[in-house]
Structure 1
Amino acid sequence: MTPFDLVLTPRGVRFRGQYYPCTIGRTGTTDRKKEGDGATPRGVHRIVGMLYRPDRIARPAPWALPVGPGDLWSDDIRHEDYNMMVRAPYPHSHEVLRRADPLYDLIILTDWNWPYAVKGRGSAIFIHQQRRPGYPTEGCVAFRRKDLRRIAPLITLQTRLIVP
């Protein structure tokens, strides 16, 4: 572990000597992640990208990419684009990345089951904004808006999310 890693602890995520409260999947952590199980996968997950809503927030890092109205994330285990960013129109099961609520105004992408996805092993393990403090995710790690916006510019492509 390095001080530049995001490390999940009982107190929240430790990053650069600070602790940030967070929420994880509604069923806790797991070594056997499955699509739809609501669990956050244990392991060392590399940060592989950052997406943001340019109509709502400024670019949080020079390497962050804007999310457009047609941007989606495939969660259809029967499709070849499973666990990949796709564009509308997309008739298969997916998540909308440009949401009406602020949950995905800033998304930090992990390499969980990516880029060579194993069908059914889980998709879209993101770092994003919480719905509200204490409200669990579907498997992602979520922060308060102000904390996520503080953390994002300090993350690099060498940063890892460590879920013990």
Structure 2
Amino acid sequence: MRTLPGAPQKGIFQFGSLRLRCALGKGGVTSGKREGDGATPLASMRLLSAYRRPGGRGGPRFALPTLLTHPDAGWCDAPGHGAYNRPVRLPFPASAERMRREDRLYDGVVVLDWNVTRRARGLGSAIFLHVARPGFAPTEGCVALTRRDLDRLAPHLRRGMRLTVRR
């Protein structure tokens, strides 16, 4: 994945011979990722697992280990909490992102190994590959593809593959 020249919140996602448009963080791409900066980390991140909305047209059919996003599924983004950058059950006493969103951006989510395997408080949480907003509006730091493109890629994504973000 690399940024588009002159458009730091948009990029080209390459998978084999495919080249797909993607959205990036509103803070562009950074080598100094911090919680809440809205930037996509400049990094090579392993694909760990996936989430999908249940149902017939719920979410993509991933080859990755996949959990269904039930209404109480969340992800802690509170650096001071012991569950920081971990899945949690809602309601949750600290700040947490809802994994089943009304805007359906998380109908399909790939969890990237940014600050997950070895956590450090404040270095950023919930860096995912997910569905893009219309017009590829910037994310909060994730990489986002159209639903159609995520559906196409899902069966080919395997645990341990890497998503590499370059400028």
TM > 0.5 between the two?
yes
Instruction: Report SS of the residue matched to 1:146.
Output: helix
* Per-residue deviation, 1:8: 3.0
4+ runs deviating over 4 angstroms:
none
Matched with 1:85 is 87
Distance 2:62 2:147 in 1: 16
* Per-residue deviation, 1:68: 1.1
User: Where in structure 2 are the equivalents of 1:1-164 lying within 5 Å?
Assistant: 7-10=1-4, 12-55=12-55, 56-57=57-58, 60-62=61-63, 63-164=65-166
- Deviation readout 1:22-58 (Å, 9 max, x if unpaired): 0100111000000110100011100000110013426
Distance 1:59 1:9 in 2: 25
Q: Is the 8 A contact 1:22 1:133 kept in 2?
A: no
Compared with structure 1, are the counterparts of its residues 102 and 139 closer, same or farther at alpha carbon in structure 2 (3 Å cutoff)?
same
* Per-residue deviation, 1:116: 2.8
Amino acid corresponding to residue 30 of structure 2 in structure 1: T
Instruction: Report SS of the residue matched to 2:48.
Output: strand
Distance 1:118 1:93 in 2: 17
Instruction: Report SS of the residue matched to 2:136.
Output: coil
Gaps of 5+ in 1: 1-6
TM-score, with structure 1 as normaliser: 0.91
Structure 1 range deviating more: 54-63 or 145-154: 54-63
Distance 1:100 1:116 in 2: 31
Instruction: Report SS of the residue matched to 2:32.
Output: coil
Amino acid corresponding to residue 76 of structure 1 in structure 2: A
What is the root-mean-square deviation of aligned Cα atoms in Å? 1.4
Amino acid corresponding to residue 2 of structure 2 in structure 1: L
* Per-residue deviation, 1:59: 5.7
- Identical amino acids, percent of aligned pairs: 41
* Per-residue deviation, 1:122: 0.3
Pairs aligned (count) = 158
